Amino acid sequence: MLSLSAALTREHRDIDAGIEAFVDGLDRGAVELEPLLTAFEALRRHIYLEETFLFPPIRQAGVLMPVLVMLREHGALWTLMDRLTELVLDHADPVEVELRSTCHELLAQLEQHNTKEEPIIYPHAETDLTEDAGAELAEFLQRGTTPEGWVCEAAHAR
């Protein structure tokens, strides 16, 4: 079984791969929405699990500023996902150039976010969570879903 930090990192890679698959489809002239929408569902779930199960206990352990940065960045990521969702679902003929550039912007933000989160935040999943909190996070990683209508904390402030 993977450590919590390894499982969270794997989710990052899977999310990135879904967005990249969508962009690859655009490059081939095919707008295949499933990889993008699946990646968004996974990213929203991932943000939910971090904000609900991971950040509160490590924030209590004294890791305040890095968590605040992650929360702010979650809001920016959420806003980009909303913009892309609107582009692909609410327009009969989405502009591929805008889709591609916004996907690249999202991937760049994810890279910046993940390169901070993985080495700074995720090690605390192994050291600062109680056994019960770690088990709850592990259980959610395996079976959990984002509650209907849940929006990340920083997205409300936008």
Left if phi > 0, otherwise alpha if psi is -120 to 50, otherwise beta: which for 63? beta
User: How many H-runs (helices) and E-runs (strands) does the chain carry?
Assistant: 8, 0
What pTM value is reported for the model? 0.93
> What pLDDT is recorded for position 32?
84
Alpha-helix runs per DSSP H in 28-63: 33-49, 55-60
Residue 149 confidence (pLDDT) above 80: yes
CATH 3.40.50.1370 corresponds to the domain 4-156: no
> What pLDDT is recorded for position 64?
95
| 79-108: average pLDDT | 85
Q: What is the Rg, in whole angstroms, of the alpha carbon atoms belonging to the chain?
A: 16
Q: Which of 59-68, 82-91, 137-146 has the lowest mean pLDDT?
A: 82-91
State how far the Cα of 104 lies from the Cα of 85, in Å rounded to an integer: 14
State how far the Cα of 60 lies from the Cα of 124, in Å rounded to an integer: 11
Q: Does residue 14 contact residue 108 with C-beta atoms inside 8 Å?
A: no
State how far the Cα of 35 lies from the Cα of 22, in Å rounded to an integer: 6
